[in-house]
Amino acid sequence: MSKILSFLIATLISLPFFAHRGQFASIEHVNIIETENSYIYQFQFENVLKANLSNVTIELVINQTPQQLIEIKKIKSKTQFVASEFIIPKEGFDIENDVVQIEVTKIFGKRNDWGGWDSPNYQTKQSNTLASEFFADAPWRMKKTDDNGNERAIPVHFYLHDADKVQLITLQIDYINIKIKNASSSSFGPVLKYNNISDAAFKGMFTSKAPNDPQLDIQEFKLSSFSASSSYTMDFDEDSDFFGDDFVNADHAYWYFTFNIPPSDLQGMEDIIDIEVEIGYSNTTISNDFIGLRVFRQNEDIPSMPNWYRGDTHLHSLFTQNSAETGEPIEATVEAGKLIGLDWFTSTDHTSDYDNYGGGNINTNWNKIQSIVQGLNTQNTAFKVIAAQEVATNNAKGDLVHMLAYPSYSAPFSLQFLGDGDGDLSSTNVYIDDVVNKLKVTDGFSYAAHPFATADKLPTIPVGGGIWNFGEASFPANGNNFPETGGNIICNDVNGTSDILSSESGKLIKDRIVGAQIWNVRNGRETSSQITGELDPWNVRGNDTPFSVTDTASYSQHIKKFKQGQEIVNHANKIGLIKKNSDNTYKNWKLFISAGADAHGSFNFSNTDDFGSVGIINTNAVGKLTTIAYCPNGMGDNGENVLKALYQGNTSLSDGPIVTIGISNDGNNASNEILMGEDTIINTLNIGDYYLNIDYVTTAEFGNINYLKLIAGTETGEIERIMPITGVSGTNNINLLLSDALDSVFQNTTVPDSSYFYLRAEIQTVKDYSAMSAIYGSSYDIFHSFTNPIWMILYDYIPPTPEVETPVTEFSLTAYPNPFEGDVSLTIKNPTDQPVKINFYNDLGQLISSLSYQINGEQTITIPPSVLDLAKGIYTVKASVENYEASVKLIKAK
């Protein structure tokens, strides 16, 4: 992804876009450095027109009062930037609440508002930037051919954002040129031109065209507004000026379209394609923009398994709009997502942004996005979008955190709006418990978004950000390091209220919070250049700052963040085992995990990154981090079955390869009856019927399997074993007797008996890029897949020894099989001639079924599921007649 006319101004946490740009001057690249006694506000004065300037005055204003000034006598036309700084003593200064402005107050000695920069708390709410951003985007990876073996077109999406906010002028788009080359080549071919084909064929190359939408201020993309020419790829000629120049005026909030580079232009080319996009303007004060993209075409589909669907649980669209972040149209994201290899995604736009556009009407905008999603799902039977929300909400301390809220899997358009439009630059009044209570009304559910890692904390400036608090005394407290991963713990204030653990008796996790999205933003490669690297970080044009490998020792690296989050989730599940094993009625005792790219548009690369790291461009993009959902009956018309899989934890996480686990309990191992996310009761008498199935797949794109781990979690922690694998490439399956798998993992440790534990798996692959490290930006990469656990309890049950038939003189009751799945048989001895009453009670002691049978002497009755409709769990059966009574515990295993 690339931007034009955008401001990359770093603050204490590198947060941009608070400049107000003048015709001659602007204050850019602000960086706040904290020392022991002061804050240093470094900045650059920009000579916007590259003119000769004189007698320039720059003032530091705090809370509307001038404090310091810098005077510059002369600035030559060849000088675009002049660096300087102000130093503010800490004493008497509140950086979070005091308003700081750096203002250009004089040029040529004349006082005017020539431009400047305002600290984020100058505003009460984020608004769109006072300049435009032109994005050019293309899928980072795609299968080279379609199902029939025909070469695919490469879609290049164009998205103009905030053109209505450009000061003094209206943007005039004159032309767009596209060039392509092999990534191995140092020079581009000629501009792609289509003046030798029919106008209908040329116009047929355009998709995802902006509609005329006054509500959202979207400018219609008209096929009549441009033509093919002998000079340009697209020559815009809808409007003209006094001088005879033709162009298209762009003066609305949004304007977008996708141009598909036809296969005829790609024939004979290599698999990795570089694209150069030139945006030509008629405005004399705006230089043309050049944007570089790199598309990795593959000969295979992205790894997949039957009945498993790859998606992204955390993506932003055009409905995310604030001063620092944006997203791209949902329809364009679907178009790119299909080629990238996704089957679905959830559109999780910030609730804090829903009053930043469309007239500021929150509910109208929420209805709008649901309508768009429903229309797209009707059009696309093989791809599904789910309308969800990233809720801006307060944690227990009153600091801002994010929460991914999803609708009920039985009603995917039932989710109500859960925020209040605040939480960007003004505090929200919505707390986590408020969201939980609203989700109960519509049967929705949620995952905590990027909740626990050191680098997950939202920035203090400007959003008053914080982090989810675990609040559990049995885990190391804030200020300590994560025991396994390392890095400072900031999510466990043991004296504070937990944001995720329930305060209700008999529950571990709060209602409607089913998991944590702990894999967020795949920043495998990045460039920290904020001036040159933004438009061409792949360096396809040969004159920019290219990507380099992210420091794997940094705790902001994606796997480090994931591992820190995993330590918290594992500990929560450890507590869940302890609670469940001491009280079988315990609820909400599992916490699932998910993955999502958190991309803002970003089909090729990202320059929005995490909210607190804006300005660092990385390789994160749509589909870089995915969640694989088990949907044996398909995804559903509107993603119902995807939502069900997320709700139940029937998922694995992946950035390329996939591993899944399941248990077959019917002895023939034809299918998995017990899935990830589920719990099961296993009678050790029949454990020979149980198989553990491990399926895993990789492709050449993601390298060979480096290891497969099987991990067991108990009340005392986790045990992991590297498992022997059947193959390092392609699609593989390991079938193990469950008893053998458990023996392999636990080895010399006793397998838990009559207490719950869990199994999960993970794989790692390694891809060698050493022969093309300059093209890939690294010499290798490492990819992973992680499953959610399967919880199980081994239960010893020996049926009673048959007795010699004697006259019945006592009353008794036995049950078989126990545990049972279908029919259950009750053997009753009745010394009377009266009917026996049989009552079934659940684990809360509530009567759920009552039956009556005429039994004489000793008799066995078999009760089918159609009569006794019981859910999985533990029940008490009481049989009584006259003064006799007997009871037995009965376990429903499935």
pLDDT in tens, 661-684: 999 998 888 899 999 999 999 999
CA-based radius of gyration for the chain: 31
DSSP state of 442: H
- The average pLDDT across 866-875 equals 84
pLDDT level of residue 796 (50, 70, 90 thresholds):
confident
Look at residue 10 and tell me whether its pLDDT is greater than 50: no
Three-class DSSP category at 554 = coil
pLDDT of 242 reads 72
**Interval 203-227: pLDDT, tens:** 999 999 999 999 999 999 999 999 9
- The average pLDDT across 322-342 equals 93
Look at residue 789 and tell me whether its pLDDT is greater than 70: yes
Look at residue 5 and tell me whether its pLDDT is greater than 80: no
pLDDT of 806 reads 62
Task: Give backbone dihedrals phi and psi of 416, rounded to 5 degrees, phi first.
Answer: -85, 165
pLDDT of 527 reads 82
**Interval 480-492: pLDDT, tens:** 999 999 999 999 9
Task: Give backbone dihedrals phi and psi of 739, rounded to 5 degrees, phi first.
Answer: -60, -40
Query: How far is residue 317's CA from residue 331's CA, in Å, rounded to a whole number?
Result: 9
Among 387-396, 481-490, 539-548, name the one with the lowest average pLDDT: 539-548
Share of the chain above pLDDT 90, in %: 72
Look at residue 581 and tell me whether its pLDDT is greater than 70: yes
Structure tokens at 543: 């004159």
Query: How far is residue 656's CA from residue 214's CA, in Å, rounded to a whole number?
Result: 40
- The average pLDDT across 46-61 equals 92
Look at residue 124 and tell me whether its pLDDT is greater than 50: no
pLDDT of 7 reads 27
Q: Chain centroid to CA 492: how far?
A: 23
pLDDT of 528 reads 64
Strands 53-62 and 19-20: unpaired
Task: Give one DSSP letter per residue of 169-218, joined into a string.
Answer: S-EEEEEEEEEEEETT-SS--PPP--TTS-HHHHHTTEESPPP-BTTTTB
Are the C-beta atoms of residues 842 and 869 closer than 8 Å to each other? Answer: no
Look at residue 477 and tell me whether its pLDDT is greater than 90: yes
Query: How far is residue 838's CA from residue 843's CA, in Å, rounded to a whole number?
Result: 16
* Helical ranges in 484-583 per DSSP H: 558-582
Query: How far is residue 454's CA from residue 192's CA, in Å, rounded to a whole number?
Result: 47
Classify burial at 744, counting beta carbons within 10 Å of its beta carbon; exposed 0-12, middle 13-18, buried 19 or more: middle
Task: Outline where DSSP puts E strands in 646-772.
Answer: 651-654, 658-664, 674-675, 679-683, 691-698, 704-714, 717-722, 730-737, 757-768
Average pLDDT taken over every residue of the chain: 90
| Residues present in the chain in total | 894
Which of 497, 554, 557 has its CA nearest to residue 523? 557
Task: Give backbone dihedrals phi and psi of 72, rounded to 5 degrees, phi first.
Answer: -120, 120
Among 98-112, 149-163, 345-359, name the one with the lowest average pLDDT: 98-112
pLDDT of 842 reads 85
Q: What is the pTM of this model?
A: 0.80
Look at residue 610 and tell me whether its pLDDT is greater than 70: no
pLDDT level of residue 15 (50, 70, 90 thresholds):
very low
Query: How far is residue 320's CA from residue 327's CA, in Å, rounded to a whole number?
Result: 6
Query: How far is residue 527's CA from residue 609's CA, in Å, rounded to a whole number?
Result: 11
pLDDT level of residue 459 (50, 70, 90 thresholds):
confident
Are the C-beta atoms of residues 855 and 861 closer than 8 Å to each other? Answer: yes
Alpha carbon distances (Å) from 154 to 206, 293, 339, 699: 11, 11, 9, 22
Query: 174 — alpha (psi -120 to 50), left (phi > 0) or beta?
Result: alpha
Look at residue 17 and tell me whether its pLDDT is greater than 60: no
pLDDT of 802 reads 57
pLDDT level of residue 98 (50, 70, 90 thresholds):
confident
pLDDT of 721 reads 97
| Cα pseudo-dihedral 671, 677, 683, 687, rounded to 10 | 40
Look at residue 235 and tell me whether its pLDDT is greater than 90: yes
Half-sphere exposure of 568 (CA within 13 A, CB side): 34
Query: How far is residue 232's CA from residue 240's CA, in Å, rounded to a whole number?
Result: 17
Among 357-366, 413-422, 864-873, name the one with the lowest average pLDDT: 864-873
Half-sphere exposure of 179 (CA within 13 A, CB side): 18
Are the C-beta atoms of residues 538 and 274 closer than 8 Å to each other? Answer: yes
pLDDT of 522 reads 97
Which of 754, 742, 712, 447 has its CA nearest to residue 580? 754
Are the C-beta atoms of residues 386 and 411 closer than 8 Å to each other? Answer: no
pLDDT level of residue 803 (50, 70, 90 thresholds):
low
pLDDT of 533 reads 63
Among 30-44, 152-166, 519-533, name the one with the lowest average pLDDT: 519-533
Which of 500, 349, 318, 357 has its CA nearest to residue 419? 349
pLDDT of 800 reads 59
Look at residue 611 and tell me whether its pLDDT is greater than 60: no
- The average pLDDT across 311-321 equals 96
Are the C-beta atoms of residues 853 and 836 closer than 8 Å to each other? Answer: yes
Task: Give one DSSP letter per residue of 301-344, joined into a string.
Answer: PPP--TTEEEEEEEEEBTT--SSS---B-HHHHHHHHHHHT-SE
- The average pLDDT across 364-391 equals 97
Buried b (16+ CB within 10 A) or exposed e, 786-795: bbbbbbbbbb
pLDDT of 308 reads 98
Structure tokens at 521: 């933003």
pLDDT of 846 reads 83
Query: How far is residue 390's CA from residue 320's CA, in Å, rounded to a whole number?
Result: 10
Are the C-beta atoms of residues 272 and 253 closer than 8 Å to each other? Answer: no
Bridge partners, 781 (sequence order): 767
* Angle at CA of residue 594, ends 606 and 295, nearest 5°: 30
pLDDT of 575 reads 98
Provide the 10 A C-beta neighbour count for residue 832: 14
pLDDT of 152 reads 98
Look at residue 292 and tell me whether its pLDDT is greater than 50: yes
Strands 445-449 and 513-520: parallel
| Cα pseudo-dihedral 392, 397, 399, 401, rounded to 10 | -40
Please name the residues in contact with 539: beta carbons below 8 A apart, sequence gap of 6 or more: 292, 545, 546, 547
Are the C-beta atoms of residues 518 and 562 closer than 8 Å to each other? Answer: yes
Which of residues 821 and 439 earns the better pLDDT score? 439
Strands 704-714 and 717-722: antiparallel
Query: How far is residue 599's CA from residue 251's CA, in Å, rounded to a whole number?
Result: 26
Contacts by residues 806-814 (CB-CB < 8 Å, ≥ 24 positions apart): 807/857, 808/857, 808/858, 811/879, 811/881, 811/884, 811/885, 811/886, 812/886, 813/877, 813/879, 813/886, 813/887, 813/888, 814/888
Look at residue 128 and tell me whether its pLDDT is greater than 60: no
Are the C-beta atoms of residues 765 and 705 closer than 8 Å to each other? Answer: yes
